[in-house]
Each structure stands twice: as structure tokens, then as C-alpha cells.
Amino acid sequence: MIAVLLVTATLQSSPAPATSAPAPAAPATASAHGTIRRYEIDAPELHDSNRAVRVYTPPGYNDPAAAARRYPVVYVLHGWPGSEGNWPGMGHATETADSMIASGRIPSVLLVFPNGSGKGFLGRSLWIDSYDGSSKVETFLTHRLVSWVDSTFRTIRSPQDRAVVGLSDGGTAAINLVLQHPDVFGAAGSHSADLRVRRTYSLGGVAGPDPGGTKLLQEHSPLEYAAEALKKVDSPVIYFDCGADDESVAENREFDALLTKLGVAHTYREFPGTHEWKYWRSHLPASLAAVTARMHDE
């Protein structure tokens, strides 16, 4: 069974206090499984003093013999509408990690599931900072959350050992983050992403009025800027897939063609299926394997 615990933590720029550290080890009978716990941290970028984040620590993390061991981290992003509980719940992400770690398909890693709700319709954020600076989800993720994770858990603090995986809007964000924040993330895994983001009612509160709104969305549309951005990025791991019946499949094919034309190493896969949890559950193992291929614990 996966243990679940609610912990409240306050994030500061200095290392987190001892009270925000993970709870004691799970019972020995649960040693074959990792542990997932829910925290609430201060997120002034989002005007939220109780922003939820769930963290999965792999089997053996709390064993005394592993006290000096450090681990790579994968940030796992939900779609819209969604929350930090989607991937552990409907996505079966923790069970998938347990199985893949046990079989040696991936190294022992931490998984971090943040809540990316913003100021768009039904909390849509696209995982970016809003045009008016009132909801800085991207800044929260790349600065405050990463800092909190690294100061609270025994992580390896390098881009090579820090990846991001997501579905739908979270998949778009995964590609954006590895291209725009290569000093933070070295690998991206994307499922069913929109790679050319268009103005819609749901993004009005995020993008704002034109002409600035369209420009902001173009700056977070990988098909629009990747050719230039990749000149400044040193060999990131890029994995993405899409269902053959998904509404976004044409954009994923176009992105595959663009990366191939540019000579950028990447992996694109297309599978039967559409925009639903059955698809994302089935193909999470592929993205986890891809983004952790260069990782190791120490």
C-alpha cells in the first residue's frame, strides 16, 4: 500500500526547517513500495500560502543504510483541468514507479507532483507566468518549488538528474521547460501536448489582451521558437508521444519533423488512442524510461 500523509511546510529562500522534512519511514511491510506524501507550501508567486504538492520517495529512501544516498528527481505535471493528485490517482504513477524501479527499468527516483492551477478559466495556467504577473506558475515551479524540493529531500542538484514529464498542458510545459530552463531541467517527456498554443477563452486570464497576449502564447509554443532555442541548449533528452486519434497529433508530427530537420536527437512515438487517462497511464513508462536514461543515484 502507498502511504499518504498531509504535511504543511513553509518555503523560504534558505534551507527548509526540520519540521518540513519527510515523515518517518513507512513500516517494514511496505518496504517494496515507495511512499507518497502530500505537503502544503507557501507560494507567494501564486498568492497561495498552502499550495499543494505531492512527493513520492522510492523504496528504501528512509532506510538508515541509505541516509547518505542522493536521488534524481522527475517533476510530473498534470493537464487542464487538473491537480497534483491526478497522476498518482488516475495515472497510477506511483505504482508504475514502484514496478519500474523494482525491475531496474529506471533508477530510484523521486517524483514530484505539483498543483499548477493558475488564473485562467477553471484554473488553467499552461504552467506559465500570467501576462500581468499576478500568477507566476512558471516562476513558482522553476525557482521556489525546485529549491524547496532540493532543500527538503536528498536530491542530486543538477539538470542532468532533474527531468519533467507531463500530459496535455503539462506536456506542452515539459517541452517549454527543457528548452527555456536548461539550467534547471535536462530532460522532458511529453504526452498529447499542444505544441502551437492558440488564444482561447480558457487562457484569457493568462495571456491577456492583444497584441501582447498572442505574443506570450507564441513564446510558449515550441513549434514557434524551438529552432532558435535549441541553438542555446546542450543536448537535452526530448521524448514525446501522442495518440493517433488525438486532436493534437498533427502538431506532434510537425514537431517531430522539425526536430528531425534540425538534426536534434529526440524520440517521438505515436500509439493507438486519444486524449484520455487510459492512454496516458499506458505510456507513462515510456516517458519515465526516456527521461531517466542518463540519471543515477549517488
Find the CATH number of the domain harbouring 267.
3.40.50.1820
192: in domain: yes
Query: What pLDDT score was predicted for residue 15?
Result: 34
Buried b (16+ CB within 10 A) or exposed e, 134-168: ebbbbbbbbebbbbbbbbbbbbbeebebbbbbbbb
Residue 60 covered by a domain: yes
pTM of the model: 0.90
Range of the domain at 166: 6-291
Please check the confidence at residue 233 and state whether its pLDDT lies above 50.
yes
**122 occurs within a structural domain:** yes
Number of domains in the chain: 1
- pLDDT score recorded for residue 100: 98
pLDDT reading at 25 higher than 50: no
More confident of the two residues 26 and 281: 281
CB-neighbour burial class of residue 201 (10 A; exposed 0-12, middle 13-18, buried 19+)? exposed
For residue 57, being part of any structural domain is answered with yes
pLDDT tens digits, 176-190: 999 999 999 999 999
Residue 296 located in a structural domain = no
Q: Does 112 reside within a domain?
A: yes
Residue identified by cell 487562457 is 203
For residue 259, being part of any structural domain is answered with yes
Whether residue 198 is contained in a domain is answered as yes
The pLDDT-based confidence of 24 (bands split at 50, 70, 90) is very low
Q: d(Cα 195, Cα 83) in Å, to the nearest integer?
A: 21
